[in-house]
Amino acid sequence: QDLLVESGGGVVQPGGSLRLSCAASGFTFNTYAIHWVRQTPGKGLEWVAVMPYDGSQRYYTDSVKGRFTISRDNSKKTLYLQLNSLRPEDTAVYYCARDQGYCTTTSCHDVGGWFDLWGQGTLVTVSS
């Protein structure tokens, strides 16, 4: 069974840091791009960042650029999100999600498909 399991959430003061982890099992982790998506309390879903399978081109939403860093260790089948300079508005449940990728007539790409597998989420609370 394909699984993603997040961990590392907690309560942190404004300006603090946390590192989230997303552990994968049941599938070939090093062939998939993985995203971070967050959900603020009582609100909707917001895409945060994506890491291709080979760590090449990473993308971030504007509000976290320069503060958050996405990385992965394929040998450990784990994706990470380093959260620095945290703000109260970063309070959310953070989910990791697998990108199914897509193919054209000439090539296949690991980023740009639908999100077919989601983890259960980890809560980050930024508060003094």
Partner 1 sequence: EIVMTQSPATLSVSPGERATLSCRASQSVNSKLAWIQQKPGQAPTLLIYGASTRATGIPARFSGSGSGTEFTLTISSLQPEDVAVYYCQQYNNWPPWTFGQGTKVEIK
Residue closer to partner 1 by CB (options 58, 77) is 58
Q: Please tell me what DSSP assigns to residue 15.
A: T
Contact between 100 and partner 1 per CB under 8 A? yes
Residue closer to partner 1 by CB (options 7, 16) is 7
Residue 50 β-bridge partners = 35, 59
Separation of alpha carbons 12 and 124, rounded Å: 8
Cβ atoms within 10 Å, residue 121: 18
Separation of alpha carbons 25 and 29, rounded Å: 8
Residue 43 falls in which region: left (phi positive, over 0), alpha (psi -120 to 50) or beta: beta
Residue closer to partner 1 by CB (options 27, 60) is 60
String marking each residue 23-62 x if it binds partner 1 according to CB under 8 A:
------------x-x------xxxx--x--------xxxx
Residue 55 CB, nearest approach to partner 1 (Å):
16
- Report the interface residues with partner 1, using CB under 8 A: 35, 37, 44-47, 50, 59-62, 95, 97, 100, 112-121
